[in-house]
Structure 1
Amino acid sequence: MSRRLVSITLDNLSDLPTRCRSCVFWELDPVSGERARDRGGAGIEKEAWVSDTLLEWGSCGQLVYVDGVPAGYVLYAPAAYVPRAVAFPTSPVSADAVLLMTGRIVADFADGGLGRMLVQGVARDVVRRGIRAIEAFGRTGSGAPRDADSADHSCLLPADYLLAVGFKTVRPHPRTPRLRLDVKTTVTWREDVEYAFERLLGSMQAPVLSR
């Protein structure tokens, strides 16, 4: 079984899980996102966001393939490139951090160590750029989601799993706390911590893509 980790580009964007290809929860502000969905142009907006971010900042995601089949991905970028990042009660993201936006592992490839590969790829990338930390808006099970996190609540990573892999809460909130991880600790994670991140992404499974 061969595994390959690559950066997300316009050439492989179509290899994201079907639901994620046209999801612009993070890439557009709430009003623009709703308008794009209503007009059926969300997929085009997603592609435009990836194109602009690649040109202006560089790699903003990682894709993992197993025997040539897309099996999972993560997206990340500075908050300045993520309009939704300002829409949470626990905003803003710290100036020295990138935002870990979302991630998925295709159901058939869960529990195979792919989450470890993905997060290590993110860590290596941001370390090379001199970035100090990764932050994320987690979702909790307490209370019904509303406001910024209502439409696509599943696009947020579970707060419990973020805590399990070493993130620390920097802005508590009953629904969408903001959490932070020092990048230097990421590149030396123990195997048990890496497995916890794999479980994190596995909990956000998407349907297997047809070939």
Structure 2
Amino acid sequence: MAVSVVSLELEDFETLPLHSRRCVFWEVDRSGTSPAIDAVITSPSTTGDAVGPESEFDKEAWLSGLLLEWGVCCQVAIEQTTERVVGAAFYSPPGRVPRAQHFPTAPVGADAVLLTTIRMEPGFESEATTLFDAVVADLVRRGVRAVEAFGFSGDDESLAMDLVTLLLGSGMASDVCRRCILPTDLLTGFGFEVVAEDPYLPRLRLELDEGLGWKSQVERALQKLVESITPPAMADSVPQPVTCSASSSSAKV
């Protein structure tokens, strides 16, 4: 199942998978004043499965504002046969991500963009690397120095979840979306290195500046970028010298 990756435009917001379209764990701080998000968080779950704070209105508003002020902030993976969006990666200047300030390993470096989440639909998990490559290619093209992310190292053990809920959701499980925090192992697999240690919520960094050392992921992303803008190969024919026609050569001076 081949996928292609494109930057998300606001008019394509409705094509996002349901959870990516609704979850505002990163984008909205519960201590804020959004009535939409407060209504969702304080409503009990009908399934008993806490999926995190959801508000499609707030997610679209956040995306719209960031696209207008900063530019591309989401890459989406599209299954080529069905043209269905099967994955999304969101990234942003850290100041536009309210939840980031609650992490014990905050703040994010002033020279870095924050990768908040990469979420793939079932069956397409192996394409997460392709999606991340597109994020790196976009950031390199824009001259960004580094990308950082918060990882989760506690699996789903009850102690880890209790601590995460206390730190990030003020004790409310419904205010935390575990699905939208990237596993630390996934980030290290992408080439990130831990720059702020924590047993459960470390902060990791991937340098994108040549002076600080290239990562293999950056090289791969750059290669894809070069391939995407390289014009078709010119014909292999050898140019022939221009000669005067018989009529012109016989013309008298």
Alignment TM class, shorter chain as reference: 0.7 to 0.9
Instruction: Find 1:147's aligned residue among 160, 167, 171.
Output: 167
* CA displacement, residues 136-167 of structure 1 (integer Å, 9 cap, x when unaligned): 01011173323216521221100122122211
Comparing 1-10 with 123-132, greater Cα deviation is found at 1-10
Aligned residue identity for 2:133: Q
Match of 2:199 in 1: 174
The unaligned stretches of length 5 or more in structure 1 are 191-211
Q: CA deviation at 1:10?
A: 1.5
- TM-score when normalising by structure 2: 0.68
Match of 2:143 in 1: 130
* CA displacement, residues 7-37 of structure 1 (integer Å, 9 cap, x when unaligned): 1121112222212211111111132388533
SS of the residue 2:5 aligns to = strand
Larger radius of gyration: 2
Instruction: Find 2:189's aligned residue among 160, 164, 181.
Output: 164
CA distance in 1 between partners of 2:18 and 2:33 (Å): 18
Q: Is the 8 A contact 1:138 1:162 kept in 2?
A: yes
Q: How much is the aligned-residue C-alpha RMSD, in angstroms? A: 2.2
Match of 2:29 in 1: 29
Comparing 6-15 with 145-154, greater Cα deviation is found at 145-154
Match of 1:12 in 2: 12
CA 173–44 in structure 1, closer or farther in 2 if over 3 Å, else same: same
How many matched pairs? 188
Instruction: Find 1:58's aligned residue among 68, 71, 78.
Output: 71
CA 109–129 in structure 1, closer or farther in 2 if over 3 Å, else same: same
CA distance in 1 between partners of 2:34 and 2:63 (Å): 19
Match of 2:112 in 1: 97
Q: Is the 8 A contact 1:133 1:181 kept in 2?
A: yes
Q: Is the 8 A contact 1:72 1:105 kept in 2?
A: yes
Question: Percent identity of the aligned residues?
Answer: 41
CA 164–116 in structure 1, closer or farther in 2 if over 3 Å, else same: closer
Q: CA deviation at 1:2?
A: 5.7
Q: Is the 8 A contact 1:73 1:118 kept in 2?
A: yes
1:43 aligns with 2:56: yes
* CA displacement, residues 41-100 of structure 1 (integer Å, 9 cap, x when unaligned): 811110010000001000001011112111111000110111111111111100111100
Comparing 178-187 with 56-65, greater Cα deviation is found at 178-187
Match of 1:86 in 2: 101
Aligned residue identity for 1:45: D
Q: CA deviation at 1:189?
A: 4.7
CA distance in 2 between partners of 1:37 and 1:164 (Å): 34
Q: Is the 8 A contact 1:136 1:179 kept in 2?
A: yes
- TM-score when normalising by structure 1: 0.81
* CA displacement, residues 96-150 of structure 1 (integer Å, 9 cap, x when unaligned): 1110000111113333xx2232111111110111111110010111733232165
The unaligned stretches of length 5 or more in structure 2 are 41-53, 209-213, 222-253
CA 30–143 in structure 1, closer or farther in 2 if over 3 Å, else same: same
SS of the residue 2:64 aligns to = helix
Q: Is the 8 A contact 2:26 2:99 kept in 1?
A: yes
CA 105–73 in structure 1, closer or farther in 2 if over 3 Å, else same: same
CA 178–35 in structure 1, closer or farther in 2 if over 3 Å, else same: farther
